[in-house]
Structure 1
Amino acid sequence: MFLTFGTDLAGIDAPASDFGFLLHKNPARPQAIDVTGGSAHVFYPEATDERCTAAVLLEIDPIGLVRAGRGKAAEGFTLGQYVNDRPYAASSLLAVALGKLFRTAMNGRCDARPELAARAIPLEIHVPALPCSGGADLAERLFAPLGWTVDARPVPLDPEIPAWGASRYVDLRLTGVLRLADALNHLYVMLPVLDDAKHYWVGSDEVDKLVRAGEGWLGAHPEKDLISHRYLAHRRYLADSALERLAEVDGVEVVEEEAVEGSVSLAVERRTAVAGVLRELGARRVADLGCGEGALVAELLKDPMIGELIATDVSARALISAKRRLHYDDLPDRQRERLRLLQSSVTYADQRLAGLDAAVLMEVVEHVDPPRLPALARSVFHTAHPGAVIVTTPNAEYNTLFPSLPAGNFRHPDHRFEWTREEFRSWSQDAAEMYGYTVEFRPIGPEDPQFGAATQLALFKVQGEVG
């Protein structure tokens, strides 16, 4: 496998050879490291004041790869673990090598040239043989939103026989003016995504890697769902966790606070309203589904009537933040005994949540992909089947009253949709009818005569129950 980075540092008062400082690799001294199944080499085909190019050559031994447990035979092809494109085509193996070779550069650190590490510089990246499951168009869709000019040319199956058409590989050139750290992180994520294959076990630690490499850009990428699912080997629960964490890192929900006059924010009004409904219901066993960093949990812990409180979130990081926010380890024993924090997804059945008095989904449904909403409804209303369910969500009609929210935008970058009042009523009434609940609707926050309240609340109760 082969990849080059080039720059001329045009418009920057520095010799191009200073590129070596950014990469933490001396242009005068080729370097090599061992990687799984082979070795990775860094050298400089050119390093002058006018232009500098660094090359990465990854040599993979197919037999060594199999011995390391990373080779896998293709179905119906016994020798597939030995005879394949891994030594020649960019893949997750090259991404891993980049991470090992340029870890400090990927973090944006350069003690020798800190001002240069912080600047966007002209870059040209060339990957001559890149497996691209989706063709040249996918390469354009993935890199162009990040500021790259993309030249992805399909590689023919056989140049001598044009009738055979193009292979699944592209010759990729990227040009742009970006920070080197950003460029390296883009490649680290996108190489295995375009190949659509990981050559090692994918577990929860890969979520950490994706969030770390994708911080600042992946959360707002138009193809973030495809990227996260491919990077995490199509394990949906891992992809959901990654997207949630990226939204926490990159997204700041500030628009709603402008809607409220006085000292009480809409977020506080929402929590107060939900706590009031739970008191009205007389609920003693309650779950906060999708608890985030625990703002509602902190409010509910103040109510001595609630004897058991379960807080769930798909993100382990969010649960850690919630424990920190709640000072969990310092809580009195009686308070800790009332509270359980569980990692759980609202779109998957979880028997640990069955039979509660009430469950709350406060500003949760809009973070779920629309095709997954039936799974959410089934897991909450059928499997958990609490006596009551409280759902709050933004009222999309009210968004026009937020001066800082551009038309057509959502209140939070991780929102997959935002419902009008009619759309929310329709979804709620369908869910209530399907799973044996009644439903009523209440406003939260300031109300406008034309557009309604800023937040809409639905209260579901099991049919036949009083309260």
Structure 2
Amino acid sequence: MLLTITARRSEALATPSDLGFLLHKHPDKVQSFGVYAGTAHVFYPEVGAEACTAAVLLEVDPVALVRGRSGRSDAFALGHYVNDRPYVASSLLAVAMGKVFRSALNGHCVGYEELVQAPLDLTVTLPAVPGEPDLVRRLFTPLGWDVQAEPIAFDATRPQWGAAPLVSLTLTGSVRLTDALSHLYVLLPVLDEVKHYWVGRDEVDKLLRAGDRWLPGHPERNLVAHRYLAGQRDLRESALARLAELDDRTAEIAHDTAASDAALAPRPLVRLRHDAVLEVVRDLAPVSIADVGCGSGSLLGGLLKVQGVARVIGTEVSDIALVKAATRLNVDSMTERQADRLSLLRSSLMYEDERLADLDMAILMEVIEHVDPDRLPAVVRNVFGAMRPRHVVITTPNAEYNVHYPALAAGDFRHPDHRFEWTREQFQSWAHSVAGTHAYQVNFLPVGESDPQVGPPTQMAVFSQSAPVEVSA
């Protein structure tokens, strides 16, 4: 029985190996834990600069599951000894997760509190899960996951036998790790109707504790309660009544305090940056936009929603990033009209690309600081000379603001892949030089709350063409 959780490098998780801190399991070690009916092994098959993968391998002894049980007339039935329990993710795996990832499941990680609360780019894989594809999608899709549930054949050599009641499951999404674990902890027993433990009244409390953040508003909460509690009507009704109270209380709090919460709750810098860029887009009203260096496509979805934008292009040098962007945007399920508005292109900032010519706007959001300084002039020539969009929007970190990050040593950069980080004076000097050379005007905007001494966390330059281009004969 196997589960893998992959965290990819992102703005929230600059160092993917920090997954080890969040899970409280060291990436350089293989650790084993005795659990009900077997042994759980935790190890890391992948630890790199771009991604980190943690795996749980649960070894189950099917004989041990029935050994010692009495009062059952079928105690020696063949099905107890020859079954799929060691291989199919089930309530056994959920119980093992509750033991080996208890702190992560509860959202505890001293020193990494901000990371605990941050959505991470996660991929969860389970080679064999009980349930039909439609049921699996109904359970996980409302929780923000992109769900791939592929049926598994009973026997690949006997296609006439059809599919087994199992799927190979891959979940992809931007989700807090603690939420991802709670989704699995609750929904694996829901999919597995063959519980290996006694379901009593304490299971209602366990269900509500594990699912309190998301279950009250889940469209299938009745089904979840029914199956998690093994169809016991009195337990199900008790759980649903308490879930309804939680849902009502959540709605009441949201209604009464929405205004004050909006004013008081700090927004993540990445969201502030997106909002600031989208505000510029709405003000300048471009019809065609290229998000150059779009990464996993976090901005593209917002651009597609801006009224009047007819064409959106996302470019990256990495095929993996483009695949992630397509997954994030659900490209496969787009209508033909929606798909016609979006293009995901493999392209490098260093080289001219005729597909990016004659656009209204190019956006380089947190891109230039990833370019070696001696190669930056080539990027400028390409963007402002060859592409020459009517507007260019560039954001980059403000190095002066780094004093507000206590964990950042003096002179260090916010991201290990940054080649430089500029002060406001350095950025504005560079931007004025670029604008003067290529006949643009430039304005500067702060992103995030400005400190009177060191300025905002992110700085933005908005370039607009100020003169026609002279074309030589």
| TM-score category of the 2 structures, normalised to the smaller one | 0.5 to 0.7
Q: How big is the shift at 1:163?
A: 1.6
> Which residue does 1:288 correspond to in 2?
none
> Which residue does 1:224 correspond to in 2?
221
Contact 2:13 2:115 (8 Å CA) reproduced: no
Q: How big is the shift at 1:69?
A: 4.0
Contact 1:197 1:230 (8 Å CA) reproduced: no
Q: How big is the shift at 1:244?
A: 1.7
| Pairing 1:48–2:48 present | yes
> Which residue does 2:92 correspond to in 1?
93
2: CA distance between counterparts of 1:62 and 1:81? Answer: 7
1: CA distance between counterparts of 2:205 and 2:61? Answer: 29
> Which residue does 1:120 correspond to in 2?
119
Contact 2:130 2:167 (8 Å CA) reproduced: yes
Q: How big is the shift at 1:68?
A: 5.6
2: CA distance between counterparts of 1:56 and 1:150? Answer: 20
Contact 1:71 1:199 (8 Å CA) reproduced: no
Secondary structure of the 2:29 match is coil
> Which residue does 2:245 correspond to in 1?
248
Q: How big is the shift at 1:112?
A: 2.9
Question: What whole-Å deviation, never above 9, does each CA across 1:268-314 have from its counterpart, x for those lacking one?
Answer: xxxxxxxxxxxxxxxxxxxxxxxxxxxxxxxxxxxxxxxxxxxxxxx
Contact 2:4 2:125 (8 Å CA) reproduced: yes
Q: What runs of 5+ residues in structure 2 fail to find an aligned partner? A: 257-473
Secondary structure of the 2:97 match is helix
1:175/1:144 Cα in 2 relative to 1: closer, same or farther (>3 Å)?
A: same
Secondary structure of the 1:53 match is strand
| Pairing 1:102–2:129 present | no
Q: How big is the shift at 1:250?
A: 3.7
> Which residue does 2:208 correspond to in 1?
211
Percent identity, aligned pairs only?
56
Alignment of 1:378-457 (within 5 A): none
Q: How big is the shift at 1:74?
A: 7.3
Q: How big is the shift at 1:196?
A: 1.8
Contact 2:12 2:119 (8 Å CA) reproduced: no
Secondary structure of the 2:141 match is helix
Contact 2:40 2:96 (8 Å CA) reproduced: yes
> Which residue does 2:8 correspond to in 1?
8
Q: How big is the shift at 1:160?
A: 1.4
Q: How big is the shift at 1:164?
A: 1.4
1:143/1:97 Cα in 2 relative to 1: closer, same or farther (>3 Å)?
A: same
Contact 2:13 2:120 (8 Å CA) reproduced: no
Secondary structure of the 1:83 match is coil
Question: What whole-Å deviation, never above 9, does each CA across 1:37-63 have from its counterpart, x for those lacking one?
Answer: 111110000112221000000001112
> Which residue does 2:267 correspond to in 1?
none
1: CA distance between counterparts of 2:70 and 2:242? Answer: 29
Question: What whole-Å deviation, never above 9, does each CA across 1:292-349 have from its counterpart, x for those lacking one?
Answer: xxxxxxxxxxxxxxxxxxxxxxxxxxxxxxxxxxxxxxxxxxxxxxxxxxxxxxxxxx
Secondary structure of the 2:225 match is helix
Q: How big is the shift at 1:254?
A: 3.7
1:10/1:197 Cα in 2 relative to 1: closer, same or farther (>3 Å)?
A: same
| Pairing 1:21–2:18 present | no
1:174/1:22 Cα in 2 relative to 1: closer, same or farther (>3 Å)?
A: same
2: CA distance between counterparts of 1:235 and 1:183? Answer: 27
Contact 2:12 2:118 (8 Å CA) reproduced: no
Secondary structure of the 2:142 match is helix
Q: How big is the shift at 1:72?
A: 8.0
Secondary structure of the 2:54 match is strand
> Which residue does 2:167 correspond to in 1?
170
2: CA distance between counterparts of 1:122 and 1:72? Answer: 47
| Pairing 1:157–2:157 present | no
Return the letter of the residue paired with 1:90.
A
Q: How big is the shift at 1:115?
A: 0.8
Q: How big is the shift at 1:192?
A: 1.3
1:9/1:243 Cα in 2 relative to 1: closer, same or farther (>3 Å)?
A: farther
1:238/1:12 Cα in 2 relative to 1: closer, same or farther (>3 Å)?
A: same
Q: Could you state the TM-score of these two structures normalised by the residue count of structure 2?
A: 0.51
1: CA distance between counterparts of 2:213 and 2:239? Answer: 13
Secondary structure of the 1:174 match is strand
1:83/1:119 Cα in 2 relative to 1: closer, same or farther (>3 Å)?
A: same
Q: How big is the shift at 1:242?
A: 1.1
Secondary structure of the 2:10 match is coil
> Which residue does 1:239 correspond to in 2?
236
2: CA distance between counterparts of 1:254 and 1:95? Answer: 32
1:13/1:220 Cα in 2 relative to 1: closer, same or farther (>3 Å)?
A: closer
> Which residue does 2:134 correspond to in 1?
137
2: CA distance between counterparts of 1:244 and 1:141? Answer: 22
Secondary structure of the 2:139 match is helix
> Which residue does 2:31 correspond to in 1?
31
1:69/1:98 Cα in 2 relative to 1: closer, same or farther (>3 Å)?
A: farther
Q: How big is the shift at 1:71?
A: 12
Return the letter of the residue paired with 1:86.
R
2: CA distance between counterparts of 1:47 and 1:71? Answer: 49
Q: How big is the shift at 1:70?
A: 10
Contact 1:73 1:81 (8 Å CA) reproduced: no
1:13/1:5 Cα in 2 relative to 1: closer, same or farther (>3 Å)?
A: closer
Q: How big is the shift at 1:66?
A: 1.5
1: CA distance between counterparts of 2:129 and 2:72? Answer: 19
**Aligned CA-pair RMSD:** 2.4
Contact 2:31 2:42 (8 Å CA) reproduced: yes
Question: What whole-Å deviation, never above 9, does each CA across 1:80-128 have from its counterpart, x for those lacking one?
Answer: 1111111111110000001001111011111131111010101000000
Q: How big is the shift at 1:9?
A: 3.0
Secondary structure of the 1:212 match is helix
2: CA distance between counterparts of 1:155 and 1:220? Answer: 31
Question: What whole-Å deviation, never above 9, does each CA across 1:200-241 have from its counterpart, x for those lacking one?
Answer: 100011111100011021111111111101000000110111
1:217/1:74 Cα in 2 relative to 1: closer, same or farther (>3 Å)?
A: farther
Q: How big is the shift at 1:73?
A: 8.6
Q: Which among 176, 192, 196 is matched to residue 195 of structure 1? A: 192
2: CA distance between counterparts of 1:34 and 1:223? Answer: 34
Question: What whole-Å deviation, never above 9, does each CA across 1:143-180 have from its counterpart, x for those lacking one?
Answer: 00000000000001111121211111100000000100
Return the letter of the residue paired with 1:217.
W
Q: How many residues align?
A: 255
2: CA distance between counterparts of 1:51 and 1:86? Answer: 30
> Which residue does 2:271 correspond to in 1?
none
1:177/1:12 Cα in 2 relative to 1: closer, same or farther (>3 Å)?
A: same
Question: What whole-Å deviation, never above 9, does each CA across 1:431-450 have from its counterpart, x for those lacking one?
Answer: xxxxxxxxxxxxxxxxxxxx
> Which residue does 2:273 correspond to in 1?
none
Q: What runs of 5+ residues in structure 1 fail to find an aligned partner? A: 259-467
> Which residue does 2:177 correspond to in 1?
180
